[in-house]
Amino acid sequence: MSDKPEQMNKELGQLYNDYMNEAHGGYPGTYTQAERTERAKALLEKGVLTKGIDLYHAALLIENGGSRDDKMRVFELYKQAGELGYAPGFHSAALTYDTWLTSQGRKQRYGTHWTSQEDAQGNPVPQPLEDPAHVDEIRAELHLPPLAQEAARVADMNRRVRAQQEAYKKRMNG
């Protein structure tokens, strides 16, 4: 096995870079989001996207430019990306699925969405779950850590954000 990072399909890479430049760089894209989405779908249909990294980035382009009807396809693409060794695909699959459920007013499956509340011990509280008693087994299907471990990570992130906010307030108030 090579230590060299897996390379993305060249055309897909160009579409992804175009998206990133527009979304985060403030530069107008060469293509519209709809064009990038349709091109990613066409590359999938041609069967030229077979690596995990390709499926992941195609899913991202479709997710950001597709319709609500595309969500299950995006979920499957992210999941396949993970199964092909591109690990970020698993978390993105879970997040996509939970977002799809919560957008319909349903309970989340994987526990990727959190409320702004804390329990009595100061731990973050997830948004309502479909099956709280079995959530760790469900998360394991996508190689996600147990919910308690994820809650600890979220709590740590929240503490760091609050510390940064407090430091900013002190600087601003002299």
pLDDT tens column, 126-158: 999 999 999 999 999 999 999 999 999 999 998
Query: 124 by DSSP, 3-state: which?
Result: strand
pTM of the model: 0.86
Please indicate, yes or no, if residue 72 is contained in any of the structural domains. Answer: yes
The 10s digit of each residue's pLDDT in 50-94 is: 999 999 999 999 998 878 889 999 999 999 999 999 999 999 999
Of 14, 85, 34, give the one whose Cα is nearest residue 56: 85
Its domain, for residue 127, covers 10-172
Domain tally, the chain = 1
Buried b / exposed e over 7-35, threshold 16 CB at 10 Å, is ebbeebeebbebbeebeeeeeebebebee
Q: Which residues pair with 129 in a beta bridge?
A: 108
- Could you tell me which residues come within 8 angstroms of residue 84 by beta carbon, excluding any fewer than 6 positions away? 51, 52, 55
